[in-house]
Each structure stands twice: as C-alpha cells, then as structure tokens.
Amino acid sequence: MSGTHRCRLLATVAALTLLSAATGTARAGDGDAPRAVTATSAARPVLALSLKEAIIRAIRNNPDADIARIDLSIAYEGIDEARGVFDPLFQAGVGGGRNRDPNFNAPLPGTNVTISGLPPGLTVNPSTQFNWNGGFGWRSPLGTDLSLRYDFQRRTTQSRFLLNPTVTPSGGINVTQPLLRGFGIDVNKAAITIARTQRDIAAAQLDSSLQELAFQVEQAYWLYRGTIEAVRVAEKALETAQKLLERTEAFARVGESTRLEVLEAQVGVVTRQEQLIRARNDRDNARDGLLRLITAPRQRRAWDVDVVLLDAPRVREERFDVRLALAQALAHRPELVALERAIEVETSQRLLAENDRLPRLDLVGGWSNTGLGSSHHNAHEALLSGRYYRWNVGLQFELPLFNTRARAAARAARERIRRAQRQRDSLEQQVVLEVRSAIRDILAARERLRTTELGIRLAEEQLEREIARRDAQLATNFEVLQREEDLTDARNAHVAAQVDYAIARARYERVRGNMLRRFSIEIAP
C-alpha cells in the first residue's frame, strides 16, 4: 500500500473516530467490533395504506379540502340570494286613533244655527278612526314592478253633514315598466347569472384544490416509499460492512490481517451506522409528512402508527402523444375552467355597467276603485260596483347630466375582461410547458431506471471481485469498502429514480387534470 493511500486512510479513521465519540455512537475496543444501531419503540398500531385510500382519507380529513367545499356551499346559497329579488312581497298595516280637534262654528246670519249643527263658537269635534291595509308586490324578470293594494278606513264623528260612521274601502293596482335602464331579462337576471357562474368557479376551485391535494398525497406516498427503500439499502450496506469486519478480525487472529486493516473495517461499520441513523430519521419524517395530509385535525393518536404501504411504483413502457395530452389538459384543467367562468362573470358585469349608462324612462300606470258607506256591506257594494274609480298613465324620465360613475364602471368592466382573457392565455402557455415538462420527466426517469439497474449489476460485480481480491491479499479493506459504497450509491440512485418516475407520472396526471378520475373518485358538491 502506498504512503499517500495510508495517510488518507489514517485521516479518515481519525475523523470518524472523533465523530463517533461526539455523537455517542458505540465504538469497539481492541479486537471488538461495533454493533448495528436499531430503533427501538413500543409496539404501535399498523396502518396498511394503498395510494387510493390515502387520497380518499386526505379528501375526507384535510381541512383545506373542507374549506374549498364550504366555499362551494356558499356559492350555491348565492344563487338563491340572487333569485330573492323576484320573490313576492306581502305588506300589511293596522292602526287607529281618536282626535279632539278644536272647531269654530259661525252661526248663520240672523240665526243661532250653525252649518255643522254644532253650537256656535269654539267647540270640540271628537272623532275616532280605524284603518288597515295590505298588499302584494312583485318584480318580473322584465323589470316590471307590480303592486296590488287594499285599504280600509272607518271613521266616526259628531258632524251632522257626514256619514257616521264613514266606511271607506279602496283597492287598486300600480305598474312601473322600465323602457331603457333596467329593461330586459338579461339585465334583470344578470345577478343570477353571475351567482351561477361563481358557483361554477367555486366548483372548479374545489376540483383544483382536491387534485392538488391528491398530487401532494401521492408525492408524499412515493417519497415515504423511497425512504423505506433507502433504509433497506443502508441496512444492507451495514450488513456487508459488518461481515467484512468479521472476516478481517478472523484473518487478524491468524496473523493474516493487520491492525490498520481492522481499523479500516471498523470505520466502514461506523460510517454505515451513521448512514442508517439518518436514513431512519428521513423515513420517520416522510411518514409524518404523509400522515399530516391524511389525518383529521385534533387526532393526535392517529400520528402514532406504523404505516405500511401497499402499492409500489410501476414502470410503464408507454408512448406519449403530446398533442393529445395538451388537448386533454386544456379541456380538463379546472384552473382554465375557472378563468373561462371568470370571463363570463366580467361579461355580465359589463352588461350591467352598460345598462347603467342609459337614461331612465319608465312607463307608469295605475287603477283603483273606491267605495263609501256607513257600513261594511254597503261600502264594499259601492267598491265592487266599479262606478267609483281612478286611473292614471304616464312616463317618467331621468337623465344624469354627466353620468361619470356609470361611464367609468363600463370602462373598468371592459378592462377586467381583457385582463381575464390575458390571464387565460398565460395559463394556457403554462399548461403547455407543464405537460411537455412532465412527459420529459417521465421519459428521463424511465431511462435513469434502466441505467441505475445496470449500475447496480456492475457495482455488485465490482464488489464481488474486490472481495475475492481481498481474500487473496491483493486488495485492502479500504478498497472493498469503496466498492461497497459504490454499490450503495447505485442502489440509492435506483431508489431515487423509482421515486422520481412515480412522482413524474403523478405530475403528468395532475397537469392534465386527471388526478381524481384515474382513481374513479367522484366528488359530490
């Protein structure tokens, strides 16, 4: 062995020995081999989890998904709220009172008699009255305001020249029909149209939120699977290092290995112990990352489980049609659907703003019948006879002189439409980029899998040959450990390629808007 090689080996031994002492890692004494570090914990419940079940759990338990569902429920209520403007309105009132008004009665010339029949001079003319009224109002989708009204009044007095009591019923209808501003079904139902479109936006946002959540769950699922495999790779590496240490110690006992070669093997064990500790810590962190997405809030005990994954990545030898994938993405991406609906909302807002710019011209008309009598019967007979009526018809005109607010609102509505259209164009470009990148990532990960599989086979062959050379005293433990480290790197690279392939495949489904349909998951509104 060359002097440079020996110096580097001794430096490595010294550094790892200090690291072992600082972290409390068990070290071997003279002739004693270090032992593998294993995580010990009390028995915990086991959660066997498929990928589809993990996604369903997340959709059911994740608070962000609940928020999106609540937003959709609110949007549904907004439709009924907008419809409420066309609900019939009932009005009613009742009242009564007594009056003691002063009254001056002048006598007729040359007599002591007054016209009212009351004593001459200042007197009191008491009266009582009772009245009630009721009616219905309604607005039609054309903008027509229609009202039906009935009024009833009964009055008693001491006057000799009035009916006593006096009963006065009346009933009628009034109509106001806009001819310019406020006219038309589209204008008057614009609020309902906007509410329905906002419901569609909320539904698209719910779909987007759930698809993103499903992607995050699948990503966490495969990352956890990768850390489990990384622990197994680390355990295999530690097992190989321990076997090398045992063989070296056996050779040392018969004088075929030196103390330095024993140290090299011990360093290899300590190094792989540390790698195993980090791999297990990464695995536990990845498990908690998955549990965070699928566990209901305030379920603290649900975190203390051992998660067993039932699914493994499956590599597909498939060909991709970029044009077809882009067409699917542009048709199914909920973000694009939401932007299309946002353009519709702004179009309805522009319709309202343009209508507000018009002058107001209303056709108004009404008809009422009146009755009069000293009793309910004869007063309503007169009312229903149709002999006593009033009618009116006319036009009302209103023109704001500058109409600054309405003009500015119309211009702003047009600009908002342009902005939403540009946002849609930008998102479409982003979708194209995402689809093309996702396909490239899948193909690259698939090629990496083939390469890393070959790398594992070559590294295994190298390690076998290096062990044979070590047994023949033609190689050192350091060189064997180097070949074993190459094999560990190759295995970890293969695990990383598997995870990257699975995540790239999930991202491909996400960018096409297909995350839930691929699992046949339907979301009820």
Does pLDDT of 433 surpass 90?
yes
Distances (CA, A) of 362 to 114, 172, 177: 50, 19, 5
Identify the CA nearest to 65 among candidates 245, 215, 267, 248.
Answer: 215
User: 165-174, 192-201, 459-468 — which is least confidently predicted?
Assistant: 459-468
Q: Would strands 46-49 and 306-309 be described as parallel, antiparallel, or unpaired?
A: parallel
Distance in angstroms (rounded) separating the CA atoms of residues 113 and 126: 20
How would residue 425 be classed by pLDDT, with cut points 50, 70 and 90? very high
Instruction: Classify 115 as helix, strand or coil.
Output: coil
Contact indicator for 383, 323 with CB cutoff of 8 Å: no
Does pLDDT of 115 surpass 60?
yes
- What is the pLDDT, as a whole number, of residue 94? 94
Q: What is the DSSP string of 292-317?
A: HHHSPTT-GGGGSSEEEE--------
Identify the CA nearest to 337 among candidates 458, 513, 460.
Answer: 513
Q: Which residue has the higher pLDDT, 256 or 356?
A: 356
Does pLDDT of 423 surpass 60?
yes
- What is the pLDDT, as a whole number, of residue 117? 66
Q: Which whole number is the average pLDDT over 153-170?
A: 83
In angstroms, how far is the first alpha carbon of the chain from the final one?
A: 74
Please write the tens of the pLDDT for every residue from 487-522. Answer: 888 999 999 999 999 999 999 999 999 888 888 887
One-letter amino acid of 107: P
Distance in angstroms (rounded) separating the CA atoms of residues 480 and 466: 6
At residue 191's C-alpha, the angle toward residues 92 and 146, to 5°, is 35
- What is the pLDDT, as a whole number, of residue 480? 81
Burial class (CB in 10 A: 0-12, 13-18, 19+), 4: exposed
Identify the CA nearest to 293 among candidates 350, 217, 238, 367.
Answer: 217
How would residue 7 be classed by pLDDT, with cut points 50, 70 and 90? very low
Mean pLDDT value across the chain: 85
How would residue 393 be classed by pLDDT, with cut points 50, 70 and 90? very high
Contact indicator for 153, 139 with CB cutoff of 8 Å: no
Q: Which whole number is the average pLDDT over 109-133?
A: 78
CA 26 to chain centre: 50
How would residue 280 be classed by pLDDT, with cut points 50, 70 and 90? very high
Does pLDDT of 196 surpass 70?
yes
Please write the tens of the pLDDT for every residue from 321-344. Answer: 999 999 999 999 999 999 999 999
